């Protein structure tokens, strides 16, 4: 393995899921739901599979899916031409990797916010670029926000792109309009490309609102907006993602993408098109049920002695292990499946500054209530 990929030999999700299986633990580590998506979407997939629709789809994706993605994006007030400004990818993961490969050269810098979704560091490395990491800082009310001073300081003449994820995995932070406006202003001032990972766009709670960076002044023409069906329609295994951007940026991402997977998920693409057009009421029910699950798990974790952090979106809540007498959440995460039968993910593995994040564990609440209750019951045995 070449040196630049040596830090990336195992993903925390595969490791923790393997440990959960080995010990029969309740898996609140890897974020995937344990119920299926809308029946109409599954029916549409079945019809494709049994309707002889099993060969390569067109390179940019099935036209009906690209049209549905463009229609869906209108909810934010941005128009995209389905023929030139939308590209279907093998999940958001491929979209992010292909975008970085297509848009950065060796030596270019990409600004990444820590804690960051694990594939980001690997994708920057595969592109041959360098990551410049900035952190989140705590507000007086205990929420996290972008460190805008650090962002400004991180920009150099080599900076090519900012990779931004909101709603944010692992912390559940949803960046405010004011914060996003500040990011947009810096991108415009320094002529940077923004790559936005919006896979949790529908999963926001309370009064949080998802605001795509591309909707802000000067950003439509410099933002590669990425999302996927996995989180919106409970189908993380389908790996249907997409990119919306300008014709030039979409063509660039496609140039890389076509030689990574070429195409994927052909028979599933019409089903995702159907879901985007018809199943948003189902998604609204998913959103409210996830909000209840966030509350249920947060209350349970607090009861078990954790200091639970606020989460305004995603599948995840983070919790401080120090009130329970532990100092390193990663050590605890490795013991937890065997000791009490629960799996969680240490936040520090998503950072370049493990000491600053070592007290936090990430728990997924995208599970049936009885699974959450069972996990909480087991975690009570920790004290
Ligand atoms: N980005 C974030 C922030 C994620 O949590 C995930 C995990 N699902 C992905 C990207 C990957 O999405 P996909 O499965 O569509 O590749
Ligand atoms: N996105 C999911 C998470 O953060 C897992 C994806 C994966 O296993 N690669 O838990």
For residue 314, give the ligand 1 atom closest to its CA: 5
Q: Per the confidence metrics, is the pTM higher than 0.90? A: yes
Q: At what angle do helices 91-103 and 119-127 cross, to 10 degrees?
A: 30
Among 29, 31, 117, say which to mutate for ligand 2: greatest number of ligand atoms within 8 Å of CB. 31
For residue 315, give the ligand 1 atom closest to its CA: 5
Q: Which of 34, 30, 26, 28 is nearest to 378 (CA)?
A: 26
* Sign of the four-CA dihedral 366, 370, 374, 380: positive
Quick one: 7 exposed, middle or buried, by C-beta within 10 A (0-12, 13-18, 19+)? exposed
Ligand 2 cavity residues, CB under 6 Å: 11, 13, 30-31, 169
Boundaries of every domain in the chain: 3-30+281-382, 43-278
Q: Can you tell me whether residue 363 is helix, strand or coil?
A: strand
Cα–Cα separations (whole angstroms), residue 286 to 106, 240, 280, 306: 42, 19, 9, 26
Secondary structure of 183-226 in the HEC alphabet? HHHHHHHCCCEEEEECCCCCCECCCCCCCCHHHCCCCCCCEEEE
Whether the CB-CB separation of 241 and 214 falls below 8 Å is answered with no
Whether the CB-CB separation of 123 and 92 falls below 8 Å is answered with no
- 3-30+281-382 and 43-278: same fold? no
For residue 170, report the distance from its CA to the centre of ligand 2, in Å: 10
What residues have CB less than 8 Å from 318, skipping those under 6 apart? 170, 171, 172, 308, 309, 311, 347, 360, 361, 362, 363
Q: Is the pLDDT of residue 369 over 90?
A: yes
What residues have CB less than 8 Å from 30, skipping those under 6 apart? 13, 16, 17, 345, 364
**43-278 is classed CATH 3.40.640.10:** yes
Q: Averaged over 303-309, what is the pLDDT?
A: 97
Q: So what CATH class is 3-30+281-382? A: alpha beta
Q: What is the pLDDT of residues 181-213, one digit of tens each?
A: 999 999 999 999 999 999 999 999 999 999 999
Q: Is the pLDDT of residue 256 over 90?
A: yes
For residue 119, report the distance from its CA to the centre of ligand 2, in Å: 9
Q: What is the pLDDT of residues 46-99, one digit of tens each?
A: 999 999 999 999 999 999 999 999 999 999 999 999 999 999 999 999 999 999
Among 16, 19, 20, 30, say which to mutate for ligand 2: greatest number of ligand atoms within 8 Å of CB. 30
Ligand index nearest the alpha carbon of residue 31:
2
Q: Is the pLDDT of residue 142 over 90?
A: no
- Does the interface ipTM go beyond 0.90? yes
Whether the CB-CB separation of 59 and 258 falls below 8 Å is answered with yes
């Amino acid at each position: 393995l070449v040196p630049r990929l040596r830090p990336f030999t195992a993903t925390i999700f595969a490791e923790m899921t393997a440990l959960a299986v080995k010990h029969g633990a309740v898996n609140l580590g890897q974020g995937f739901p344990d119920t299926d998506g809308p029946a109409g979407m599954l029916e549409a997939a079945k019809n494709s599979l049994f309707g002889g629709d099993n060969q390569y789809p067109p390179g940019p994706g099935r036209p009906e899916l690209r049209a549905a993605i463009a229609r869906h994006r209108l909810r934010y007030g941005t128009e995209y031409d389905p023929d030139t400004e939308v590209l279907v990818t093998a999940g958001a993961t491929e979209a992010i990797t292909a975008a970085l490969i297509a848009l950065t050269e060796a030596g270019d810098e990409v600004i990444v916010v820590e804690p960051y979704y694990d594939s980001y560091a690997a994708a920057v490395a595969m592109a041959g670029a360098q990551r410049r990491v900035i952190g989140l800082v705590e507000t007086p009310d205990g929420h996290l926000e972008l460190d805008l001073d650090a962002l400004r300081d991180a920009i150099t003449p080599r900076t090519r792109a900012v990779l931004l994820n909101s709603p944010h995995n692992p912390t559940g932070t949803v960046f405010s309009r004011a914060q996003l406006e500040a990011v947009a202003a810096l991108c415009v001032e320094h002529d940077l490309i923004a790559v936005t990972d919006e896979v949790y766009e529908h999963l926001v709670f309370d009064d949080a609102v998802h605001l795509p960076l591309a909707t802000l002044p000067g950003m439509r023409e410099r933002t590669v907006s990425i999302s996927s069906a996995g989180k919106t329609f409970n189908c993380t295994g389908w790996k249907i993602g997409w990119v919306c951007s300008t014709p030039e940026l979409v063509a660039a991402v496609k140039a890389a993408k076509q030689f990574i997977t070429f195409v994927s998920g052909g028979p599933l693409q019409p089903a995702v098109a159907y879901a985007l057009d018809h199943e948003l009421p189902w998604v609204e029910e998913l959103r409210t049920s996830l909000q209840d699950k966030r509350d249920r798990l947060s209350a349970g974790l607090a009861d078990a002695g954790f200091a639970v952090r606020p989460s305004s979106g995603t599948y995840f809540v983070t919790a401080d292990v120090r009130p329970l007498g532990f100092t390193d959440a990663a050590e605890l995460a490795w013991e937890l499946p065997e000791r009490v039968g629960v799996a969680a993910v240490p936040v520090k593995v998503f950072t370049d500054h493990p000491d600053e994040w070592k007290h936090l564990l990430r728990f997924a609440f995208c599970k049936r209530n009885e699974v959450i209750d069972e996990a909480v019951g087991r975690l009570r045995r920790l004290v």
